Chains A and B, each alone.
Chain A
Amino acid sequence: MPALTESIALGRTRSATARKAPSRSLDTLFRTCSYGAALLVLLVLAGILGSILYGGWPAFREFGFGFLTSSAWNVGTEQYGALVAVIGTVASAFLALLIGVPVSLGIAVYLTQLCPGWARKPVAMTIELLAAVPSIIYGMWGLFVFAPLFARYIQIPVSNLVEGMPIVGTLFYARVPSGVGVFTAGIILAIMIVPFIASIARDMLDQIPTVLRESAYGIGCTTWEVVRHVLVPQAAVSIIGAIMLGLGRALGETMAVTFVVGNANRLSASIFDPSSTIASRIANEFNEADGLQLNALMALGCILFVITFVVLIIARLLTRRVQAA
């Protein structure tokens, strides 16, 4: 016991001396370490890009630019094209944002502005718990619980209603009324990205100085006006960042989408029809792929990488414009 006290005392003295004379070498070490950590990310990223480029190269060489524009995917005849998967990926992620963003922002505004104090913690926690649910659980729930209900109460009635109509008829008619498809994938993805966007947006709204809000109320603004003209513009940059994070997840989500997207390699104008995404195709075929098929899957991975990269660049440009304005 006395030894323990002694060591604590010693420790205290040591930290006290450290405070008095900050060590230069420690500072350099810290700088090098954090620099190395940042560099490591770059190295890993370059490594990933390099290896999938190397793996996908034979497919790019074989099909050239046609790999992007072809909708064929036939293992038997070794014809591969990325178009269907690319469109499926972008469409499902877009639908996810379309549904998820308004909901997330609504949650964030409610939690920070309107929610009674006692309910804040439980509601926030519930939302964050959604982020902890493994994606395969979302997939299974989507396939076994959500899809049948969706088919019965929305897809089939809507299909029957719009059958034969121009435009609406092609967009909403389900050839395979099983409840799975691009739209279902979009809904499941929306549920998956809501906790990300909502909690970041909430943190950002929380950090806006109270004085700003109070002065707006002071000059007679309504709650809606405060949110619309004070809070949202203040947090806009961070909110766009949060949305991009959600979009990144939606683009790359694999297991959940594989379960509910329908896994069809066809172009269809209807959002109720089955399709596939880049990630779902890789998940489905990687195990048994060989030769050119494996190269084509690698090339798909490469394209997903590029899509995500382009999305990030757009996000950067957007935030810069918002900041400038």
Chain B
Amino acid sequence: MRPFAYALAVGLATVQLASAALAADITGAGATFPFPVYSKWAEAYRKETGSGLNYQSIGSGGGIKQIQAKTVDFGATDAPLKPEQLTKDGLVQFPTVMGGVVPVVNIPGIEPGKLKLTGDVLADIYAGKIAKWSDPRIAKLNDGLKLPDANITPVYRSDASGTTNIFTTYLSQVSEPWKKEYGAATTISWPVGQGGKGNEGVTATVKQVPNAIGYVESAYAKQNKLSYALLQNKAGKYPQPDDKAFQAAAASADWKATPGFGISLTNQPGEEAWPITAATFILVHKDAADPAKSAAVLKFFDWAYKNGDKLATDLDYVPLPDNVVELIHQEWKDVKGKDGKPVFNM
């Protein structure tokens, strides 16, 4: 692994040198999920301030590796690092935007938002224990809905993905058998169904295959007008998967509990909370090797918190609540230059 990481680092360093020669842009790499909103923000930011951002969406794992190797100014990941890991690598972690993961379905004759599922039923569908839509356990949740006597085709992400991590984290929380047998990870050994590559692949497969169920970022579900299912949350309610429900999940979470904000937003207790909500995170080094660059990174995200909400909601992302942003500003004081002073002053 080491030589590979090294080769990657050298390759990236070359790219970075080349772009540094062009302009004093900040560079980041990582998660693909927030890529659309980061590029929109970067575009608007450049128009306003003249400084740019170069973001490579290479996946969360890649983002973590590259910030560890110090080849980028910031890393981005959908799966937050644990506090121990953050301390070990000397990193500061903070969330930027949130999104929800939505189960999408293609059942002939069923309209969007009509099908209701609970977490453990969803887990059993993906575990192959519930094989038909006409299963009594699904019928019990959906009184009056005519469900076909057809095999369910569960669709999952074939590529390793943060979305899968969020989805299986949720399944592990709501289903003991799932947790024991499959657990939560970026790739799972799915017992049934079929894999699609990327959100696009899952979307396309669900659209094409009758009686399929899949899971995608809410933005994809909305933009592709996919039929979605409602999920029962911890409070026993079936909220609509929209900004309000995602924000409710964020509001009821205890952000202060974990350093680095690495809390899971899945299965939050609020009445309105959508059960599969997640934030995406940024990683920067505590001891800034280049204080000006680190300050530029924080300045960019500070700008985004203040001015980026509209751009984010346009793309179906959910901005963070104000109280969380305040906590993040506190956290930023840990990013210090060689003189021991915070690189970014409010």
Interface presence of B197 (CB below 8 A): yes
Interface presence of B59 (CB below 8 A): yes
Interface presence of A295 (CB below 8 A): yes
Are B195 and A263 within 8 A (Cβ)?
Answer: yes
Question: B189 — nearest CB in chain A belongs to which residue?
Answer: A74
Residue numbers in A under 8 Å from B58 (CB-CB): 287
Q: How far, in whole Å, are A259 and B205 apart by their CA atoms in the complex?
A: 11
Q: How far, in whole Å, are A73 and B190 apart by their CA atoms in the complex?
A: 9
Q: How far, in whole Å, are A4 and B190 apart by their CA atoms in the complex?
A: 73
Interface presence of B159 (CB below 8 A): yes
Instruction: Pick the contact of A74: B59, B62, B182, B192 (CB < 8 A).
Output: B182
Are A287 and B61 within 8 A (Cβ)?
Answer: yes
One digit per residue, 1 when the CB lies within 8 angstroms of any chain B CB and 0 when it does not, for chain A 114-150 equals 0000000000000000000000000000011001100
Q: How far, in whole Å, are A289 and B64 apart by their CA atoms in the complex?
A: 11
Interface presence of B233 (CB below 8 A): no
Interface presence of A310 (CB below 8 A): no
One digit per residue, 1 when the CB lies within 8 angstroms of any chain B CB and 0 when it does not, for chain A 240-263 equals 000000000000000000110011
Residue numbers in B under 8 Å from A274 (CB-CB): 193-195
Say which one of A25-33, A174-182, A195-203, A214-222 lies at the interface with B.
A174-182
Interface residues of B in 209-242 (CB under 8 A from A): 209, 212
Are B159 and A143 within 8 A (Cβ)?
Answer: no
Interface presence of A22 (CB below 8 A): no
Q: How far, in whole Å, are A291 and B5 apart by their CA atoms in the complex?
A: 12
Interface presence of B83 (CB below 8 A): no
Residue numbers in B under 8 Å from A104 (CB-CB): none
Instruction: Pick the contact of B188: A74, A144, A180, A262 (CB < 8 A).
Output: A74
Are A148 and B183 within 8 A (Cβ)?
Answer: no
Interface residues of B in 76-126 (CB under 8 A from A): none
Interface presence of A264 (CB below 8 A): yes
* A155 CB, min distance to chain B CBs, angstroms: 11
Interface residues of A in 43-57 (CB under 8 A from B): 51, 54-55
Residue numbers in B under 8 Å from A72 (CB-CB): 189
Given that A76-B182, A76-B188 are known contacts, is A259 also in contact with B194, CB under 8 Å in the complex? no
Are A51 and B3 within 8 A (Cβ)?
Answer: yes
Interface residues of A in 28-83 (CB under 8 A from B): 51, 54-55, 72-77
Instruction: Pick the contact of B158: A55, A75, A284, A291 (CB < 8 A).
Output: A284
Residue numbers in B under 8 Å from A289 (CB-CB): 61, 160
Instruction: Pick the contact of A287: B3, B4, B59, B205 (CB < 8 A).
Output: B59
Are B197 and A284 within 8 A (Cβ)?
Answer: yes
Question: A81 — nearest CB in chain B belongs to which residue?
Answer: B189
Q: How far, in whole Å, are A258 and B201 apart by their CA atoms in the complex?
A: 11
Residue numbers in A under 8 Å from B209 (CB-CB): 151, 176-179
Instruction: Pick the contact of B194: A74, A77, A176, A283 (CB < 8 A).
Output: A176
Are B186 and A288 within 8 A (Cβ)?
Answer: yes
Are A73 and B161 within 8 A (Cβ)?
Answer: no
Residue numbers in A under 8 Å from B184 (CB-CB): 76
Are A178 and B194 within 8 A (Cβ)?
Answer: yes
Given that A143-B204, A179-B208, A264-B194 are known contacts, is A291 also in contact with B161, CB under 8 Å in the complex? no
* B215 CB, min distance to chain A CBs, angstroms: 15
Are A288 and B61 within 8 A (Cβ)?
Answer: yes
Question: B153 — nearest CB in chain A belongs to which residue?
Answer: A176
Are B187 and A288 within 8 A (Cβ)?
Answer: yes
Given that A74-B182, A75-B188, A76-B185 are known contacts, is A287 also in contact with B160, CB under 8 Å in the complex? yes
Interface presence of A225 (CB below 8 A): no
Residue numbers in B under 8 Å from A262 (CB-CB): 194-195
Given that A178-B209, A288-B59, A290-B61 are known contacts, is A75 also in contact with B185, CB under 8 Å in the complex? yes
Supplied contacts A151-B208, A259-B201, A283-B159, 11 more A-B pairs, CB within 8 Å: A74-B189, A76-B188, A143-B201, A151-B209, A176-B194, A180-B205, A264-B190, A284-B195, A285-B187, A288-B186, A295-B1
The 5 residue pairs across chains A and B that have the minimum distance between CB atoms: A263-B195, A263-B158, A76-B183, A288-B160, A288-B61
* 28 interchain pairs, CB-CB under 8 A: A54-B3, A75-B160, A75-B185, A75-B186, A76-B184, A143-B204, A144-B204, A175-B151, A175-B192, A176-B192, A176-B193, A176-B194, A177-B209, A178-B209, A263-B158, A263-B196, A264-B193, A264-B195, A265-B189, A274-B193, A284-B159, A285-B187, A287-B160, A288-B59, A288-B61, A288-B159, A288-B160, A294-B4
